[in-house]
Structure 1
Amino acid sequence: MAVEVKDTRFDEFLEFPCAFNFKVVGLAHDDLVPQVIATLQRHAEASDYSPSVKPSSKGTYHSVTVVVTVTSKAHIELLYTELGKLELVRYVM
């Protein structure tokens, strides 16, 4: 079950709009990266998503890092929440 991310302090440390790194750790599955990118594209405007994917040492998990332009604290919180809802995802950092 995904936890809704809210009441963060991102607005105290960032000036919007800005580039923001999302690191998503999920099961090593062919659908992980496409699902992450599709979720980001639904909620963030960008013409180019260039994910960096690193497998875990045992190959069970993949870490997907993507840079997205965010427009507000609420936008970051929405993206964290939506990425966390994906079935293959275990952590969003």
Structure 2
Amino acid sequence: MKTKLEKMLKFPCSFTYKVIGLAQPELVDKIVKVIQLRLPGDYAPNIKSSNKGNYLSISITVFAKNFSEIEILYHELSKINLVRMVL
């Protein structure tokens, strides 16, 4: 059964992940590295810091050919030890 998200998307398409994690210098590099392994390309993440500076919110847009790529990246990004949430 298709999910609502899968039904809404028309492939190929751009898809933006929002990753929230601990404010560590290597967080952005780890996120880009995971994405590069699955979908090579040039990525320009948008980075915002939380009010207290403990967390970073990283928005990064990929170009996916199918829903499987979106699902796999979601799970791979969730495995990064500094990541707390992937939206």
Note whether the superposition's TM-score is higher than 0.5.
yes
Q: Which residue of 1 aligns with 2:29?
A: 34
Q: Does 1:61 align with 2:55?
A: yes
How big is the alpha-carbon RMSD for the aligned residues of Structure 1 and Structure 2? Answer: 1.1
In the TM superposition, structure 1's runs of 4+ consecutive aligned residues that sit over 2 Å from their partners are 7-11
Structure 1 alignment gaps of length 5 or more: 1-6
Report the TM-score, using the length of structure 1 for normalisation.
0.87
Residue 74 of structure 1 deviates from its aligned partner by 1.1
Tell me the secondary structure at the aligned position of residue 53 of structure 1. strand
Distance 1:43 1:8, change over 3 A: farther
Report the TM-score, using the length of structure 2 for normalisation.
0.93
Structure 2 alignment gaps of length 5 or more: none
Calculate percent identity across the aligned residue pairs. 41
Q: Which residue of 2 aligns with 1:77?
A: 71
Q: Does 1:25 align with 2:37?
A: no
